[in-house]
Amino acid sequence: MHRSGVVMAWNVFKFCTALRGLGSIMIILVLGVVGVSYYAVVITNYGPALAAGGLNSLLALAVLLLFHFLLVMLLWCYFSVVFTDPGSVPSNWRPAMDEERGVTDLLTTTEFPTNSDNQEVRYCRNCNQLKPPRCHHCSVCGRCVLKMDHHCVWVVNCVGALNYKYFLLFLFYTFLETTLVTLSLLPDFVAFFGEGEVPGTPGTLATTFLAFVLNLAFALSVFGFLIMHISLVAANTTTIEAYEKKRNPRWRYDLGRKRNFEQVFGMDKSYWFIPAYSEEDLRRMTSLQGLEYPSSPDLDSQEL
């Protein structure tokens, strides 16, 4: 029985590794949904309405401008998550040593109270190396990821310390875009089931119907994920850590909602809604990637 259990566990990890093969399929699926929505909104409905002129052209212009703006932001955030490394542990990483006490102390500022239960240095048996706090091994990527939230098949990448902000912005702009498409196609969807004759060819009507259903489904599902991650950011936790937090009412990384938000989105407000960081915040993120623990609390390197 024990031997079969070991084989079953091994097969599970093989299955996780095989998920990487879905990468190109998921990207094509995302681009396919974008393409169907673009054809239904721009080519079939509001593009011709804009060209026809009249009062309806003003509404069409507003819809098209907002649609293209959200689409650019959605794709920018999406590919930022896809191509940004979530953060990995250097092979020679070692925890900081508290020479006075003679023990390893991974929390180097007074913002985080020491906890004797959490002073142990963790070791990853899969990577055969030490790993810092809030770091977890991803069975799909086959490596340890800094402040890992989850492995997302939709972005073909892990969501971690260095691309979590981009993932949240992707959810945010996806919700706005899919909601806009749903509302803009709602009149045609209602008319489709009405008694009157609906203008358009069977192909364009089918595309409009498909785009409405897909965007409505995505809007509802993404809204749920967005609410969940907003609550996680407010508590300075991750999806993986949510279970640990339930077992420990006093979450040691919770600095208050404002500081928790700034650790993910940065200190510069002008960069909050784009998948980029200011030079100061970029320096902080580089520090996180190098696993340096500056003594200045402004760098908030302890978010790992």
The residues that are catalytic are: 152
For the chain, count helices (H), then strands (E). Answer: 9, 8
Instruction: Note the maximum CA span of the chain.
Output: 83
The rounded distance, in Å, linking the Cα atoms of 243 and 239 is 8
Nearest residue to 110 via CA among 252, 234, 287, 249? 252
DSSP 79-127: HHHHHS---B--TT----EETTTTEE-S--STTS---GGG-SPEEETTT
Burial tier of 304 (Cβ tally within 10 Å: 0-12, 13-18, 19+): buried
How far is the C-alpha of 159 from the C-alpha of 199, rounded, in Å? 44
In angstroms, the CA 166 to CA 266 distance is 12
Angle at 159 between CA 259 and CA 274, to 5 degrees: 60
Residue among 42, 101, 118, 150 nearest 302 (CA):
118
DSSP string, 199-238: PS-HHHHHHHHHHHHHHHHHHHHHHHHHHHHHHHHHTT--
User: How far is it, in rounded angstroms, from Cα 127 to Cα 91?
Assistant: 9
At what angle are helices 202-234 and 164-192 packed, to 10 degrees?
A: 140
CA–CA distance, 153 with 142 (Å, rounded to integer): 15
